[in-house]
């Protein structure tokens, strides 16, 4: 367990890409990211003064795609029984319910998509509790992970969605990364122009207006239009 639980949000997201430069250019067109190469060969992508994402080649044992880097100590790689991973990294949380509202191109929510109930694993390691979003609701198939804060009410940091085995096999158990989009139709159109694929057209869900896109290299993220805060509509729940 982290020495600093509860974990209250993200340091950043990482995009592990076999073509870091191509990925960086694709997302720069979508979100206007400021892309800055680092001495270690990674590409650091900024929205204003906040680091939104880091793009790098995956190590031999890593799966390409989006990966969460959560604010917590000590540094650790977490892997639940279903094989879903996340990294703990010491330092300031830049994205979460206690951080400033997400801007266009910034991470704005994360959702655990899994066919297995691994809630206890993440609750134990991150200091979270699981909550149904409505009174009298069951935590299946959807629930919120909450983190307490000294002197204030708990807030939702992430969600969990149980999917069927076929979906889990096709998509894979994963943490889905949501990115804020001021104009979701414009971003999906730009994604297609850049060689990406719209997997879910813009639609209204309890979180807000979302769309899902795959970039030209296969990495999938969800867009959330103009969220009022971390988690969109969940920020007010």
Per-residue pLDDT tens for 63-77? 999 999 999 888 999
CA distances from 156 to 86, 116, 138, 163 (A): 18, 21, 17, 20
User: Total domain count for the chain?
Assistant: 1
Q: What is the CATH number of the domain that holds 194?
A: 3.10.180.10
Is residue 1 a part of any domain in this protein?
A: no
Cβ-contact 97, 156 below 8 angstroms? yes
**What global pTM score does this model have?**
0.94
pLDDT at 1: 47
Please give the mean pLDDT across all residues of the chain: 92
pLDDT at 144: 95
Is residue 35 a part of any domain in this protein?
A: yes
Given pLDDT bands bounded at 50, 70 and 90, which one contains residue 157? very high
pLDDT in tens, 98-119: 999 999 999 999 999 998 888 9
Is residue 3 a part of any domain in this protein?
A: no
* Higher pLDDT, residue 3 or 25: 25
Mean pLDDT for 212-235 is: 96
């Amino acid at each position: 367990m982290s020495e600093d639980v509860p974990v209250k949000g993200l340091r950043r997201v990482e995009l592990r890409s076999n073509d870091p430069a191509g990925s960086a250019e694709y997302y720069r067109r979508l979100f206007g990211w400021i892309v800055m190469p680092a001495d270690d060969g990674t590409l650091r992508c900024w929205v204003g003064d906040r680091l939104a994402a880091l793009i790098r080649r995956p190590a031999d044992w890593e799966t390409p795609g989006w990966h969460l880097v959560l604010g917590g100590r000590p540094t650790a790689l977490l892997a639940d029984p279903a094989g879903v991973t996340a990294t703990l990294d010491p330092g300031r949380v830049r994205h979460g319910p206690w951080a400033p509202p997400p801007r266009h191109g910034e991470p704005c929510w994360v959702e655990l998509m899994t066919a297995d109930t691994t809630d206890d694993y993440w609750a134990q390691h991150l200091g979270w509790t699981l909550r149904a979003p409505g009174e009298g609701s069951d935590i299946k198939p959807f629930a919120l992970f909450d983190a307490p804060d000294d002197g204030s009410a708990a807030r939702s940091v992430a969600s969990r969605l149980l999917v069927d085995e076929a979906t889990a096999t096709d998509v894979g158990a994963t943490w889905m990364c949501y990115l804020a989009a001021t104009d979701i139709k414009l971003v999906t159109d730009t994604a297609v122009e850049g060689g990406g694929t719209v997997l879910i057209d813009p639609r209204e869900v309890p979180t807000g207006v979302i769309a899902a896109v795959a970039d030209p290299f296969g990495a999938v993220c969800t867009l959330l239009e103009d969220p009022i805060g971390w988690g969109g509509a969940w920020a007010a729940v």
